[in-house]
Amino acid sequence: MNNDKRFIEESFPVKEVSVESAREKNIRHGHISTLHIWWARRPLASSRATAYAALIPAPKNIEEWQRERDFIIELCKWENSNNQKLLERARRKILEANGGVPPKVLDPFGGGGAIPLEALRLGCETYSNDLNPVAVLIQKCTLEYPQKYGQPIPKTQYLAERPWLAVEKHQVFDKNLVFTLFEDRSETVNPLVEDVKYWGNWVLQEAKQEIGRFYPEEKDGSIPVGYIWARTIPCQNPACGAEIPLMRQYWLAKKKNKNVALFPFVENNAVQFTIVGDGYEAWPAGFEPENGSVARAVAICPVCGSTIADKMTRQLFQTGQAGQRMVAVVLHKPKTQGKRYRVATEQDMAIFKQAEACLQEKREKLMLEWGMDPVPDEPIESKRPSPNARGLSAVTRYAMNVWGDLFNSRQKLALIVFVEKIRQIHHHMLAKGLEEEYAKAIVSYLGLGIDRLTDKNSSLCRLIPQTEAIGFTYARQALSMLWDYIEMDQNEHPSGWIAILSELIDNIQNSSFQNISTITTHSSATTLKYPSNFFNAILTDPPYYDNVPYSYLSDFFYVWLKRSTGHLYPELFSTPLTPKKNEIVAYTLDSGGFEAGKHYFEEMLKKAFQEIHRILKPDGIAVIVYAHKSTEGWETLINSLLNSGLIMTGAWPLNTEMRARMNAQETGSLASSIYIVARKMQRQPTGFYTPVKEELNRYLTTKLERLWQEGISGSDFFIAAIGSAIEVFGKYEQVMDYEGSVIRADRLLQDVRQIVTDFAVRQILRNGFSGDISELTRFYVLWRWEFGAAKAPFDEARKLAQSCGIDLALHWNRPGFITKEKEFIRVSGPQQRKAESLKQPSELIDVLHKVLLLWEKSQRQELIKLLQETGFGSSEAFYRVGQAVSECLSSDDKEKKLLDGFLSGRERLQEDVKKAASQPTLFE
Mean pLDDT to the nearest integer, 114-127:
97
| pLDDT confidence of residue 921 | 46
Residue 667 has what DSSP assignment? Answer: B
Q: Is the pLDDT of residue 812 over 50?
A: yes
Residue 767 banded pLDDT, cuts 50, 70, 90: low
166: burial class by Cβ within 10 Å (0-12, 13-18, 19+)? Answer: exposed
Residue 350 is inside which H or E element, if any?
helix 346-370
| pLDDT confidence of residue 857 | 93
Cβ proximity of 110 and 116 under 8 Å: yes
411: burial class by Cβ within 10 Å (0-12, 13-18, 19+)? Answer: buried
State percent of the chain over pLDDT 70. 92
Rounded CA-CA distance 47/213 in Å is: 47
- pLDDT tens digits, residue range 242-294? 999 999 999 999 999 999 999 999 999 999 999 999 999 999 999 999 999 99
453 or 544: whose pLDDT is higher?
453
| pLDDT confidence of residue 726 | 80
Highest mean pLDDT among 263-267, 584-588, 855-859: 263-267
Cβ proximity of 374 and 367 under 8 Å: yes
Rounded CA-CA distance 327/324 in Å is: 9
Secondary structure (3-state) at 806? coil
Q: Return the half-sphere exposure (C-beta side, CA atoms, 13 A cut-off) of residue 870.
A: 22
| pLDDT confidence of residue 849 | 96
Q: Residue 873 to residues 844, 877, 911, 913, 915: CA-CA distances in angstroms? A: 11, 10, 9, 6, 11
- pLDDT tens digits, residue range 193-226? 999 999 999 999 999 999 999 999 999 999 999 9
Q: Residue 108 to residues 139, 142, 652, 853, 857: CA-CA distances in angstroms? A: 12, 16, 21, 56, 61
| pLDDT confidence of residue 390 | 52
- pLDDT tens digits, residue range 860-880? 999 999 999 999 988 888 998
Residue 923 banded pLDDT, cuts 50, 70, 90: very low
Residue 628 banded pLDDT, cuts 50, 70, 90: low
| pLDDT confidence of residue 322 | 98
| Helices 794-803/745-764 angle, 10° precision | 70
Residue 173 banded pLDDT, cuts 50, 70, 90: low
Mean pLDDT to the nearest integer, 374-388:
73
Mean pLDDT to the nearest integer, 338-358:
98
- pLDDT tens digits, residue range 288-332? 999 999 999 999 999 999 999 999 999 999 999 999 999 999 999
Residue 75 banded pLDDT, cuts 50, 70, 90: very high
53 or 907: whose pLDDT is higher?
53
Residue 360 CB contacts under 8 Å (≥ 6 apart), including other chains: none
Is the peptide bond prior to 387 cis by the omega test (within 30 degrees of 0)?
Answer: no
Nearest in space to 82 (alpha carbons), one of 125, 122, 141, 140: 122
Residue 922 banded pLDDT, cuts 50, 70, 90: very low
Of the ranges 284-298, 452-466, 809-823, which one carries the lowest mean pLDDT score? 809-823
| pLDDT confidence of residue 183 | 63
Cβ proximity of 629 and 715 under 8 Å: yes
Of the ranges 54-68, 174-188, 626-640, 734-748, which one carries the lowest mean pLDDT score? 174-188
Nearest in space to 258 (alpha carbons), one of 280, 273, 274: 280
Of the ranges 326-340, 582-596, 837-851, which one carries the lowest mean pLDDT score? 582-596
Q: Is the pLDDT of residue 630 over 90?
A: no
Cβ proximity of 241 and 296 under 8 Å: no
Of the ranges 123-132, 317-326, 416-425, 673-682, which one carries the lowest mean pLDDT score? 673-682
| pLDDT confidence of residue 470 | 96
Residue 45 banded pLDDT, cuts 50, 70, 90: very high
Residue 775 CB contacts under 8 Å (≥ 6 apart), including other chains: 804, 805, 806
Q: What are the helix and strand counts (H, E) for the chain?
A: 30, 27
Q: Is the pLDDT of residue 170 over 70?
A: no
| pLDDT confidence of residue 106 | 98
Q: CA gyration radius for the chain?
A: 31
Cβ proximity of 787 and 714 under 8 Å: yes
State percent of the chain over pLDDT 90. 64
